[in-house]
Structure 1
Amino acid sequence: MLQSAQIARRQSEIRQQLAELAAKDSPGDDETRQMDELDREYRSNESRYRAALVAEDDERREAGAELETRTGSEWSTLVGQFEVRQAALHLDEGRALDGATAEVVQELRSAGGYRGIPIPYEALELRAGETVASGTPDPVTTRPIIDRLFPESVAGAMGARMVNVPSGQQEYPVTTSNVSAGWASSETGDVAGPTAYATTDRSLKPNQTLGIQMQLTRRTMKQAAGIEEAVRRDMRGAIMQEMDKAVFQGSGGSGEPLGVVAGASTYGITETAIDATASWSAFRAAVTRFLTANAAGSPGGVRVLIRPEVWDTMDAVIFDDGSGITEYDRLVGTVGSVNLTSNGLAAPVGSPVESNALLTTTAGGQSPIFVATWGAVDMIRDPYSDAASGGLRLTGLVTMDVSVSRTAQLEVLTGLQ
């Protein structure tokens, strides 16, 4: 019990005893002496009570700060020990979850509703080593499983900000007004008038759901080599591939979010038609537009996203015959980063064959693109499709959305031949 609570209880007992003694018409010498002693103790306890409250308040503050720090670190530790294998076995055989995996699942379920087993996105990261129990008999040496080939995510490389929303929707107010400044034309003249502070709300809504299906045979579930890491990598790669495609090419219909390049006109992003062979001068002009609009402080703050075919064309054209520097070398040597993708941008079409490119920049610490995910991956079992063979069919549901911040931080180049 807290010291303050003990003192408060004793004070209540003293008041009760004093009330009984004070009710007597003619108290004796012993009773008078007892009242004096109780009165002195009561006054002494008042000082002790105030001191105990001060000390306990400091202890509470220290404990609260420790709890806040410990909560974040403990969650990271638990997620680091999360085993996707346990989730799969729970859905397949009904095996009980234990350890860190059980704690993470319980915590996620308390924060939101899931039909199956919730899997945190952090658990899909690539890990070194295996999380398979040691000592498991394995009579046949099984080589590491070869993963499917997925492109590395380019959304993050282009400055997209990943946001995880527990529930509901989120809005990001982005400043769109310009502050006016001007000199007084005379001693009594007025300076420039005020400009209204205006913002535009960029909303992220949980209206799009991505599904990832995985099929595990009975033999796969029983073998002891590499399943945990293979499942994690395969899920991560599938989500990454579709997320990159949706961020840039999403149609905005048929359940897809509206992508940055495909929905440039809807977002109000500047689209510049090049309609000529891809060259450094076309990208240089776009970088100049960023600089004049104060969207970038230097060419090094601009990121570029192109198709491999555009790289092939630019790298084959010599910019300076004497030095052997190509058009692509000039681009790479000037801008902040050049990212190649065959998944984030549509394949070249037309005659002559033409492609698009995207340029982004981060202005004032504000990311050009928002990519939101809700909660965790909801892992659901299909008990019927593979029941005859004893296999396990899993479906992972991911809710996500895409939006942009300031349109001045993005530009699309079209007609790169």
Structure 2
Amino acid sequence: MLDSVKIARRQSEIRQALAELVGKDKPTEDETRSMETLDAEYRANETRYRAALIAEDEERREAGNELETRSAQEWAEIMGRFQMRQVALALDEGRQLDGATAEIVSELREKGGYRGVPVPWEALELRAGETVASGTPNPIRTAPIIDRLFAQSAAARMGAQMINIGVGELEYPVTTSSVAAGWADGETASVAGPSVYATTDRPLKPDHTLGITMKITRKALKQTGDALEQAVRRDMNGAISEAMDKAVFLGTGANGQPLGVITGAATYGITATAVDAEATSAAFRNAVARFLTANAATGGGDVRLLARPELWAFMDEQQSILPDLTEWDRLLRTLPAANIMLSGNALAAPTGSPVASSALLTTSAGGVAPVFVGTWGAVDLIRDPYSDATSGGLRLTALTTVDLTVSRPAQLEVLTGLQHQAA
């Protein structure tokens, strides 16, 4: 029982006892002393009661925070025990799944249909302690599911929101009306309007399937042991991340690919500004100014830039009109370095004469992501029992359904014709 409740009950008992004593016309000496004792205890309990409430309020807040995060923590902990090695051996040898891996697979099967073994997105994360080309990653447990898998991807760094969908389609209604306020011109005049409040639906549809196939030799299965899990996870992570990044920006919308942001700029209604001149900081500063004018950003810190590495190399060599500053240095005065993403995968290679490339600027206005990337269910891991049967190898195919859509075109702008080589 809480201390405050105990004290409150005792105060009630004291008040009842005092009421009985006060009602007597001629109390005895013992009763008088009892009244003084009860009165002193009552006043002391008032102080204790306030202190108990303060202490318990802090405990309630801590308990509330624990209850809010407990389910997420428990889910992260059980996902941390998922073993890709068990999945590979189950597909290769028919070994029975057990422990957390079996529990997770069983739950995923209840939520959707899979031809093979469903693998949750969290299981593909690069966990601490695994050596990769860029060093040892240290993922944050509380990050979103897909963001945690592709924390370093261009899509995530450009503000795209990754969404995992169980079944069916998902639509995002976005306001597209131009409701405006107006002053009443006179005592009996009416205010402006009425204006139509309209929305446009931005659907995510399960029409695009991304897949990778990997071959694991019998020797690798017998030699690697637990290391097989890390190897499979790294390969799947890298392949899916690279393919999704490229599709988000350069997807053709044909041959099974979703329509990318840059390729489908006209379809999505995204502004495309042709620079057609040497790349300078002014071109990007003017784009930021257009975001500010459209109320899509409040400053350069709200804007993210995706550019080719060749563009950075060119601008870092170009002397600006300011002494001892290159054009890239001046760009960093407009956009923070943390908001700039250089990628040779998410943007098309430079072409033309003089050589030129494109760049993309995004902003998250009002907390709304500029791009939504949806994935359906879990990764479906399927074994091909025939292709490598003669060598005893294991061939795995991982399938996932992906789509993307743009939330508000005003939050994106494509700059084309950024030249970074003399004619």
Whether these two folds match at TM > 0.5 is yes
**Conserved 8 A contact 2:273-2:414:** yes
Matches within 5 A, 1:394-405: 394-405=396-407
Equivalents in 2 of 1:147, 1:93: separation in Å?
A: 34
Q: Given the alignment of the two structures, is residue 111 of structure 1 paired with residue 111 of structure 2, yes or no?
A: yes
Matches within 5 A, 1:21-100: 71-100=71-100
Matches within 5 A, 1:241-252: 241-252=242-253
Provide the residue aligned with 1:302 in structure 2.
303
Equivalents in 1 of 2:180, 2:132: separation in Å?
A: 62
Provide the residue aligned with 2:216 in structure 1.
216
CA RMSD across the alignment: 2.2
- The structure richer in helix per residue is 2
Secondary structure of residue in 2 paired with 1:339: strand
Provide the residue aligned with 2:184 in structure 1.
184
Q: Given the alignment of the two structures, is residue 232 of structure 1 paired with residue 233 of structure 2, yes or no?
A: yes
Change over 3 Å in CA distance of 1:389–1:175 after alignment to 2: same
Change over 3 Å in CA distance of 1:77–1:410 after alignment to 2: same
Letter aligned with residue 317 of structure 1: Q
**Conserved 8 A contact 1:161-1:371:** yes
Provide the residue aligned with 2:385 in structure 1.
383
**Conserved 8 A contact 1:145-1:226:** no
- 1:72 Cα offset (Å): 4.2
Equivalents in 1 of 2:174, 2:132: separation in Å?
A: 46
Q: Given the alignment of the two structures, is residue 259 of structure 1 paired with residue 260 of structure 2, yes or no?
A: yes
Matches within 5 A, 1:244-393: 244-322=245-323, 324-336=324-336, 337-393=339-395
Change over 3 Å in CA distance of 1:325–1:247 after alignment to 2: same
**Conserved 8 A contact 2:247-2:257:** yes
Provide the residue aligned with 1:128 in structure 2.
128
- 1:69 Cα offset (Å): 6.7
Equivalents in 2 of 1:307, 1:348: separation in Å?
A: 8
Change over 3 Å in CA distance of 1:146–1:198 after alignment to 2: closer
Q: What TM-score comes out, normalization by structure 2 length?
A: 0.76
Equivalents in 1 of 2:134, 2:360: separation in Å?
A: 30
Letter aligned with residue 282 of structure 2: S
Equivalents in 2 of 1:72, 1:284: separation in Å?
A: 41
**Conserved 8 A contact 2:307-2:347:** yes
Change over 3 Å in CA distance of 1:178–1:312 after alignment to 2: same
**Conserved 8 A contact 2:159-2:364:** yes
Equivalents in 1 of 2:311, 2:163: separation in Å?
A: 31
**Percent pairwise identity:** 63
Count of residues in Structure 1 that have an aligned counterpart in Structure 2: 338
Letter aligned with residue 176 of structure 1: T
Equivalents in 1 of 2:240, 2:302: separation in Å?
A: 28
**Conserved 8 A contact 2:211-2:399:** yes
Structure 2, unpaired ranges of 5+? 1-64, 136-149
Deviations 1:236-285 (A, max 9, x none): 11110000000000000000000000110111110100000111111111
- 1:226 Cα offset (Å): 2.1
Secondary structure of residue in 2 paired with 1:203: strand
Secondary structure of residue in 2 paired with 1:388: helix
